[in-house]
């Protein structure tokens, strides 16, 4: 089903938002809706979107008229100590809950530990020799000598070391 804003070709399809950060589980941006002409997008809700255009010179919350009206509202709020909130039935803004009464939400998803299967199991060997003398004297001494000689040949072939006579 195609969302209603994409069905109509003449109506506006953009929403004015304020960037608040990056999404945690995907490569998208998180926004708070500031102004919307689309009926299904509610103001002051959080949305995530990948297709965005940032207008770095536009500051919708920093209008002079808006600042003056907010300061007047604050003065009126301080003068009247009523805590009732009037919400119009056609208003698209949701009333914000009091932050003191809201309990923090916790994830209900159970996290399962990562398992990599039997291919990634490491075994600890306690009987590994601690010195060359012990390795050469062990039953696998011949294999140890071949491994050491192979390493020395590789180092000399790659010109990693240059053997010189002692002074």
pLDDT tens-digit readout, 74-127: 444 444 444 444 445 555 556 666 666 767 777 777 877 777 666 666 666 667
Taking only the tens place, the pLDDT of each residue in 122-131 is 666 667 888 9
| Structure letter (DSSP) for residue 46 | E
pTM listed for this prediction: 0.32
Residue 15 CB neighbour total at 10 angstroms:
17
Per-residue pLDDT reduced to its tens digit, 10-68: 667 788 888 888 888 888 888 888 888 777 888 888 888 888 888 877 766 665 554 44
Which conformational region is residue 44 in: left (phi greater than 0), alpha (psi within -120 to 50 degrees), or beta? left
**How many whole angstroms separate alpha carbon 23 and alpha carbon 43?**
19
DSSP classification of residue 57: T
* Residue matched to tokens 């070709």: 9
Under a CB-based contact definition with an 8 Å cutoff, are residues 12 and 37 in contact? yes
- Fill in the DSSP letter of residue 109: P
Query: So what's the pLDDT on residue 16?
Result: 83
CA 151 to CA 163: how far, in whole Å? 14
């Amino acid at each position: 089903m195609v969302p209603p804003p994409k069905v109509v070709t003449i109506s506006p399809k953009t929403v004015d938002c304020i960037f608040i950060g990056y999404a945690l589980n995907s490569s998208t941006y998180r926004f708070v809706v500031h102004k919307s002409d689309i009926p299904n997008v509610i103001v002051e809700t959080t949305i995530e979107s990948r297709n965005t255009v940032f207008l770095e010179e536009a500051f919708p919350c920093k209008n002079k008229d808006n600042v003056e009206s907010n300061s007047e509202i604050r003065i009126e709020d301080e003068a009247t100590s009523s805590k009732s909130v009037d919400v119009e039935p056609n208003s698209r803004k949701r009333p914000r809950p009091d932050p003191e009464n809201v309990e923090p939400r916790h994830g209900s998803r159970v996290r399962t530990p990562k398992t990599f299967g039997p291919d990634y199991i490491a075994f600890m060997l306690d009987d590994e020799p601690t010195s060359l003398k012990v390795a050469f004297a062990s039953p696998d001494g011949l294999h140890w000598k071949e491994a050491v000689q192979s390493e020395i040949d590789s180092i000399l072939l790659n010109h990693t070391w240059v053997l010189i006579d002692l002074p």
